[in-house]
Amino acid sequence: MLEFRNIVKKFKETLVINDISFSVKKGELVVLIGESGCGKTTTLKMINRLIDPTSGTILINGEDIAKKDVISLRRNMGYVIQQTGLFPHMSVKENIEIIPKVSKINAKKIKDKTLELMEMIGMNPDEFLERYPIELSGGQQQRIGVARAFAMDPEIILMDEPFSALDPITRASLQEELINIQTHMKKTIIFVTHDMSEAIKIADRICIMNNGKILQYDTPENIMKNPINDFVSRFVGKNRIWSSPELIKVKDIMIESPITIQPKASLFQCMEKMREHKIDSLMVVELHTNKLLGIIKAKHIQPYKNRNIEVEKIMKKDFSHALPEESIVEVLKLINDTQESTLPIVNEKGCLVGLITKSSLVTTLSQPFVEQKEVI
């Protein structure tokens, strides 16, 4: 959909963008993030040609944008900046309709579109259309900015720190709304910010920039889990993952080689194995295939005087389990509901791949707090 090929930008002699290449898929929300002055705005403005690259090509649907008519390119691309982006002398209606009007779209269509957009951003047209920007709160102004960007039904929308000047609560609700709008409208959005939590919240993919270069371009999850270098991990913040636990997956924290026993083993062997590993339960798995058949606990064995019985006769077969791709939030719920202290993790084929216990969860979840203590 959108592709940067070896883009270099120099202002006079200073290199601001140092040979970047990346591409954005249709319908994706990509966040450009980095410290102030790293070249985010410059990168964004090259897409609507407010800035021309020194060398390199930018393609939209395979076409070089340098060869397109710049006015129609911009009209078919939304552009949202901070509050100052609205025209102070025009009413909300005039602000939203300016480009459709100069593009000579028919009046009825414009009117319907404006009403539709007001609904999209959740603002009452009767109340707000005739107001001027100065009569709106910061959050409302930004909503109008977003509505204006959608007025021409563009494929691509560019946003340069649109929510940065807002208070945290308003910002959070606008982020939510953007996600909502995005799921319905499926636009390709390039969003610039310097706020990592904002990026994690809204991005499909995050592009971390520094000194005019792209350091890492990946999903929020992967960036948090596998920061490519120290800069990225510092930037992401070491404990960032803990503020979005839904991104932590079972496979990230499970015990990978749980202690197992085969179904034909005797209860005596079970007790021995538990003693040896200082645990109170075992996973009963089929030999060779590792298919999980049941769970045996020390307290289940206790009533049986005859310790030669095969474990498969008394093991618990109706156990709850989780998949490795599930988030730990789900697992926490499951453990809470079932009051089980151990939860086997099985893959789609039913084979045992790991184990989560209450104590391993506690260890994982307490990690950031324990670490912080050490720092102090």
Ligand X SMILES: Nc1ncnc2c1ncn2[C@@H]1O[C@H](COP(=O)(O)OP(=O)(O)O)[C@@H](O)[C@H]1O
| Whole-Å CA distances, 197 to 33, 34, 40, 208, 357 | 11, 12, 17, 13, 30
Count other C-beta atoms under 10 Å from residue 359's C-beta. 10
Q: Is there binding between residue 13 and ligand X (CB under 6 A)?
A: no
Stretch that binds other proteins, among 44-52, 316-324, 330-338, 349-357 (CB under 8 A): 44-52
Site string for Mg ion, 28-67 (x = CB under 5 A): -------------x--------------------------
- Applying CB under 8 A, among 7, 99, 144, 196 the residue interacting with other proteins is 99
**Candidate residues 40, 93, 148, 205; the one interacting with ligand X per rule CB under 6 A:** 40
Q: Tell me which stretch binds other proteins (CB under 8 A): 24-32, 45-53, 107-115, 173-181.
A: 45-53
Q: Which of 1, 8, 15, 50 binds other proteins (CB under 8 A)?
A: 50
Binding string, 101-140, against other proteins, x = CB under 8 A?
-x-----------------------------xxxx-----
User: Minimum distance between the CB of residue 192 and Mg ion, rounded to whole angstroms?
Assistant: 6
Nearest Cα to 249, choosing from 348, 323, 341?
323
C-alpha 278/C-alpha 285 separation (Å) is 19
If 0-12 CB within 10 Å is exposed, 13-18 middle and 19+ buried, where does residue 279 land?
middle
Q: Does 193 bind ligand X (CB under 6 A)?
A: no
Least distance in angstroms from the C-beta of 162 to other proteins: 11
Cβ at position 213, least distance to ligand X in Å = 12
Length of the chain: 376
Burial class of 198 by CB neighbour count within 10 A (0 to 12, 13 to 18, 19+): buried
Contact code string over 52-91 relative to other proteins, x by CB under 8 A: -------------------xxxxxxxxx-xx-xxxxxxxx
Residue 105 or 259 having the CB closest to other proteins? 105
The reply to whether 41 sits near ligand X by the rule CB under 6 A is yes
- CB nearer ligand X, residue 52 or residue 63: 52
Dist CA 265 CA 32 (whole Å): 57
Evaluate whether 157 touches 78 at the Cβ level (below 8 Å): yes
Burial of 336 (0-12, 13-18, 19+ CB in 10 A): exposed
Residue from the set 2, 4, 39, 265 that interacts with ligand X by CB under 6 A: 39
What is d(CA 302, CA 296) in angstroms, rounded to the nearest whole number? 11
Alpha carbon 254 to its chain centroid, in Å, reads 22
x/- contact string, 53-82, with ligand X (CB under 6 A)?
------------------------------
Q: Six-digit token pair at 80? A: 């949202």
The answer to whether residues 301 and 270 touch, using CB atoms and an 8 Å cutoff, is: yes
Q: For the beta carbon of residue 231, count every other beta carbon within 10 angstroms.
A: 16
